[in-house]
Amino acid sequence: MERQAEPELMDDRAQAQAYAQADFAEPHNHFMQLFRERCAATTLRGTVLDLGCGAADITIRFAQMYPQTQLVGIDGAAAMLACGAEAVTRAGLQARISLELALLPGDVLP
């Protein structure tokens, strides 16, 4: 059987929702712990860019861990960004997180 590569972008709404609803708590919490230990143990301020933010789970965790930051999440899949926007709203972080559709390396970043 020949392997079928999955599409690079998760543009299908149902597929994006299934991904967004998956439980990534363990690896994403581990990522945030490693970031804090190795990069920013105490405070971090300013704007943070999350390339390939998908459904914004790590973006939201980052905003919660570092309340003095503004975050811009970039993804190439509108369906994933729609899921991310819903999650940002549920987390009450619309004032600190913006999500933007862009394809790299072609599009201009904010």
Residue 15 included in any domain: no
Residue 76 included in any domain: yes
Residue 60 included in any domain: yes
> Among 61, 62, 64, 49, which Cα is nearest to 102's?
49
Please enumerate in sequence order all residues whose Cβ is within 8 A of that of 54, keeping only pairs 6 or more positions apart, or say none: 10, 19, 20, 75, 77, 80, 83, 84
Domain count for the chain, please give it.
1
Full residue range of the structural domain in which residue 98 is found: 44-104
Indicate the pTM of the whole model: 0.81
pLDDT, tens digit (0-9, with 9 covering 90-100), for 42-66: 788 999 999 999 999 999 999 999 9
Residue 23 included in any domain: no
Residue 98 included in any domain: yes
pLDDT tens per residue across all 110 residues of the chain? 665 555 566 677 777 777 777 778 898 899 999 998 888 767 889 999 999 999 999 999 999 999 999 999 999 999 999 999 999 999 999 999 999 999 888 888 77
Residue 42 in tokens: 């105490």
CATH of the domain at 86: 3.40.50.150
Residue 64 included in any domain: yes
